[in-house]
Structure 1
Amino acid sequence: MTAYLIRGARIVGGEPTDLLVRDGVVAEVGPDLAATGAQVVDAGGLVALPGLVDLHTHLREPGREDAETVETGSRAAALGGYTAVCAMANTDPVADTAGVVEQVYRLGRAAGLVDVQPIGAVTVGLAGGQLAELGAMASSAAAVRIFSDDGHCVADPRLMRRALEYVKAFDGVIAQHAEEPRLTQGAQMHEGEMATRLGLTGWPAVAEEAIVARDVLLAEHVGSRLHVCHVSTAGSVEILRWARQRGIRVTAEVTPHHLLLTDEKAVGYDPVFKVNPPLRTAADVAALRTALAEGVIDVVATDHAPHAVEDKECEWAYARPGMLGLETALSVVLGSQALGTDWNAIAERMSRQPARIAGLVEHGRDPAPGAPANLTLVDPAARRVIDPGESASRSRNTPYAGLTLPGRVVATFLRGEPTVLDGKAVR
């Protein structure tokens, strides 16, 4: 295993120093280090962060390899500075058994670009009728700890309660896609002035907020862990703030696109801006940014959702919802100014806290002697124009095409081995 001497990096935005990476760990940290035979990486002006961790990634394999595979999604993640991603269960077949989650886990290990941690389905086939094999998935080689029917809400309150009760046995987490389906039938975008102007059926904010309110009460009643996926409304933020004041065991995520984009992007009927939950108003965006800065929302999660061309380049009503996110997440967060250039806050929201929620003990640790060498080097002064043609993803449905965004991932290391150097994938 090659040793790497990283010179002049600013660890989480601190003073420049050197890092010696050897045998998969950070061996030394300090000024003017020397190491015979080590490959030198010039990190002058770069910020060293713990490798980013994504709680919400769609890798599509098995079943939709035309849109993404575990390998292509992993490469996109590495280029975005990630060293671990949690792969959602809405594959085909659904990841609702030990066999399927182990398959995804093995594919991730074979790719070797990021640690791929499968998320198991809450219900069989994501159908909302009966609980999936939660215990079997938890005790499998994949050691699943987060369960979600993302893309579908666990709408039955009795089933949601049972799921929350079940995962207490192994300190698991139920991650809810908060959407009351009876309020969103036929919905195409956020319910508001823009939807009225465009003649599109609205997706009301209350459809999210009603489920968030119900589920935090269930989590309090059961004493279990709830995670709210892709929070998108100011009302949800207030419910989460109330839940925290009561000490309820709830965490929440926001996507980069909900921190930057508004429903006004739908004005041209470009399906690249169709997503679930939909882009909301400027007031919602402002509330989400504040909540992330305050810690009411715990993490940024990409909801990376690749789609094949035919599923996006069509009429708005027929387009699948979802956007790419892994390669651009850090730049979008920087561009949104939600956390400013507070590198400690960025490390907390994009690495440490998601690693804690997912139970990924080797990740989310700042570069320090003895820590696993899972880290990313970022050029905060760089600015880049987003070109979909340069994406490592198999899909091209990025909403940021042509935008100039700040920050650039220069290098990513997974257990001491580079997956990205000089901004390019190593393999």
Structure 2
Amino acid sequence: MTTLIHNAVLIDPEAGTERPGALVLKDGAILDILPAAPESLDRFAAVLDADRRHLAPGIVDWGVKVSEPGERHKESFRSAGLAAAAGGVTTMVTRPDTHPAIDTPEILEFVARRAAQDSPVRVLPMAALTKGREGREMTEIGFLRDAGAVAFTDGDRVTEDTRALSRALTYARSLDALVVTHPQDPGLSRGAVMTSGKFASLRGLPAVSPMAERLGLDRDLTLARMTGARLHLDQITTAAALPALERAKASGLDVTAGVSVHHLTLNDFDVGDYRTFFKLVPPLRQEEDREAAVEALASGLIDCLGSQHTPQDEESKRLPFEAAAPGAVGLELLLPASLRLVHAGRLTLPALFRALSLNPSRRLGLPTGRLAKGAPADLVLFDMNAPFVLDRWTLRSKSKNTPFDGARLQGRVRGTWVAGRRVWPVPEDR
């Protein structure tokens, strides 16, 4: 079956271009890229007029938590997959911080089966770096890699035993496996729920200095240099960390970095009167840190932008700020929230999709993230100017813990394709 999508504005993050054009899809891949629709449409089994909306590579959201196994009431592969499709996410790279942690091939194979059965989008699981994510004994990295793990991480649980982390990185290097760390000094950050500053003092909340991120980053980069391991830093959110990251890249270390959309579009003032939907890990930063992170993403110093989707139920959020569970959902809101930066003139659309699609794909060795002949037909069609006010109860995720509830956003997904098959809107939503 050959499909034509024409009258679109094509966003090509690889070439850095934004231009009118049309795509021909066949057998799950992009067959051809045309400047416009041909005069005769008879040879196409399906034809879609994009009505001058933007068509881009599907989003690869790196760092999604799906709460299977253990907390399926918070998020399942079915609900997460629907939320992803509605948000233009065609690949979810999932975290291993489940109950139990994804630290054996058997648990990983269970997750892969559930994902294949229930999710309409691609799911690529990461596995735990250490057993139980306890930071003491490394997992069977080779067996987990053979079972389908695309990377290894303990999530936001920082490995305090430097020797154990060094051994894990050395072993990962021998297998050319990618390790993902969360740069933070655990001693300084333990128990903290805000970034230190006047606002945190006024609210009387335990806070952590931004230098805790710099200290954790320095350690992880030193170990990467010592072991030669491939390293991805999942959250770089402070101005203090950026010079060290820049030096590491300039020296040739095989290191990349990511940031969440919440840390690019919100700051610590948004916590307001103890609003727990704004409690995140790491905590929201000061405005100068947010500005620095935006500039680093625009320049390419920070490579990847994701949602860090972390579902929490109402009971765990309706608590005093210190006691509330951290995290926010973001699969469905990653694109419209990110478009705030485009509308503000801080990013171009090709630069945005470089961070959302191309760079995550390259780092993980995936063929996605490109508009090129032969590339997978993983696509998102969106109206970047369509305004709406978010009602969190309309989200497809089981959990509704978003800091954007009631926010004015721009950008509606009009279609999502995975391997050439349209997965959004689903029939009942068309």
Pick the TM interval, shorter chain. over 0.9
Aligned residue in 2 for 1:280: 285
AA paired with 2:244?
I
What SS does the corresponding residue of 1:15 show, helix, strand or coil? strand
Tell me what 1:167 maps to. 172
Of 79, 96, 103, the residue aligned with 2:103 is 96
> How far off its partner does 1:352 sit?
0.9
User: CA contact under 8 A between 1:311 and 1:320: conserved in structure 2?
Assistant: yes
For residues 428 and 101 of structure 2, the distance between their equivalents in structure 1, rounded to whole angstroms, comes to 33
Instruction: State how 1:28-107 maps to structure 2 within 5 Å.
Output: 28-30=32-34, 31-33=36-38, 34-36=41-43, 38-107=45-114
Equivalent in the alignment of 2:4 = 5
1:210-225 to 2 correspondences below 5 Å: 210-225=215-230
User: Would you say how many aligned residue pairs link Structure 1 and Structure 2?
Assistant: 421
Match of residue 419 from structure 1 = 423
- Alignment partner, residue 261 of structure 2: 256
What is the alpha-carbon distance in structure 1 between the residues aligned to residue 340 and residue 377 of structure 2?
27
Over 3 Å counting, the alpha-carbon distance change for 1:112 and 1:196 in structure 2 is: closer
1:154 aligns with: 159
Q: 1:306: Cα distance to partner?
A: 0.6
Shift of 1:112: 4.1
Provide Cα deviations, 1:97-145, integer angstroms capped at 9, x if missing partner: 11111211222211241111111101110111111121110011x2x13
Equivalent of 1:188, from 185, 189, 193? 193
- Could you say which residue in structure 1 is the equivalent of 2:356? 350
> Are residues 223 and 405 of structure 1, via their aligned partners in 2, closer, same or farther at CA, if it must alter by over 3 Å?
same
Structure 1 letter corresponding to 2:416: T
Distance 2:404 2:397 in 1: 14
Displacement of 1:370 in angstroms is 2.3
Equivalent position to 1:399, from 387, 398, 403? 403
Structure 1 position 172, deviation (Å): 1.3
Letter in 1 for 2:300: G
Q: Which runs of 5+ in 2 are unaligned?
A: 12-16
Among 175, 184, 198, the residue aligned to 2:203: 198
Superposed CA offset, 1:42-92 (max 9, x none): 212211111110111001111111110111111111111111111100001
Contact 1:293-1:339 within 8 A present in 2 as well: no
Q: Contact conserved, 2:310 with 2:328, CA < 8 A, in 1? A: yes
Are 1:408 and 1:423, in contact at CA under 8 Å, matched by a contact in 2?
A: no
Tell me what 2:134 maps to: 127
Distance in 2 between the 1:369 and 1:139 partners? 29
Provide Cα deviations, 1:268-317, integer angstroms capped at 9, x if missing partner. 11110101100010000011001001111001021100111111122212
Asked whether the equivalents of residues 18 and 350 of structure 2 are also in contact (C-alpha less than 8 Å), the reply is: no
Q: 1:334·1:407 contact (CA, 8 Å) conserved in 2?
A: yes
Structure 1: gaps of 5 or more residues: none
Name which of structure 1's ranges 155-164 and 22-31 shifts more when overlaid on structure 2: 22-31
SS at match of 2:272: helix
Cα distance in 1 for residues equivalent to 2:122 and 2:86: 14
**Is contact 2:8–2:54 with CA below 8 Å preserved after alignment?**
yes
SS of alignment partner, residue 201 of structure 2:
helix
Q: How far has the Cα of 1:396 moved from its partner?
A: 0.5
Alignment of 1:359 with 2:365, yes or no, is: yes
1:236 and 1:424 map into 2 onto residues whose CA distance is 46
What letter corresponds to residue 230 of structure 2 in structure 1?
A: R
Shift of 1:3: 3.9
Give the Cα separation in 2 of the matches to 1:14 and 1:178: 35
1:383 Cα deviation from its structure 2 partner: 1.8
Q: Please, which of 373, 376, 392 is the counterpart of residue 377 of structure 2?
A: 373
Q: Is the 8 A contact 1:385 1:403 kept in 2?
A: yes
Whichever residue aligns with residue 397 of structure 2, its letter is: S
State the 1:155 CA deviation. 2.0
Q: 1:7 to 1:421 in 2, by over 3 A?
A: farther
CA contact (8 A) 1:411 1:422 kept: no
Q: Kindly tell me: are residues 37 and 227 of structure 1, through their superposed partners in 2, closer, same or farther at Cα, counting changes over 3 Å?
A: closer
The 5 A counterparts of 1:312-323 are 312-323=317-328
Structure 1 position 35, deviation (Å): 4.2
Q: What is the CA distance between 1:151 and its match in structure 2?
A: 2.5
Please identify, of 4-13 and 193-202, the stretch whose mean Cα deviation from structure 2 is larger: 4-13
Give the Cα–Cα distance (whole angstroms) in 1 for the partners of residues 42 and 171 of structure 2: 51
Conserved 8 A contact 1:171-1:225: yes
C-alpha contact 2:82 2:119 (8 A) present in aligned 1: no
Note if contact 2:298-2:347 (Cα within 8 Å) is conserved in structure 1. Answer: no
Match of 1:408 in 2: 412
- 8 A Cα contact 1:339 1:345, kept in partner: no
Deviates more, 1:115-124 or 1:415-424: 415-424
What do residues 367-392 of structure 1 show as CA deviations (whole Å, max 9, x unaligned)? x3322111111212212211111101
What SS does the corresponding residue of 2:409 show, helix, strand or coil? strand
TM-score, normalised to structure 2, is: 0.94
SS across alignment from 1:371: coil
Note closer, same or farther for the CA distance 1:282–1:164 as it changes in structure 2 (3 Å cut).
Answer: same
1:343 deviation in Å? 2.1
Shift of 1:423: 11
CA distance in 1, matches of 2:429, 2:89: 12
Moved more, 317-326 or 335-344: 335-344
Contact 2:68–2:76 (CA under 8 A) maintained in structure 1: yes
Give the fraction of aligned pairs with identical amino acids, expressed as a percent: 34
What's 2:388 paired with?
Answer: 384
Contact 2:304 2:360 in 1 (8 A): yes
Shift of 1:341: 5.2
1:16 and 2:20 are equivalent in the alignment: yes
Per the TM alignment, residue 222 of structure 1 is displaced from its structure 2 partner at its CA by 1.4
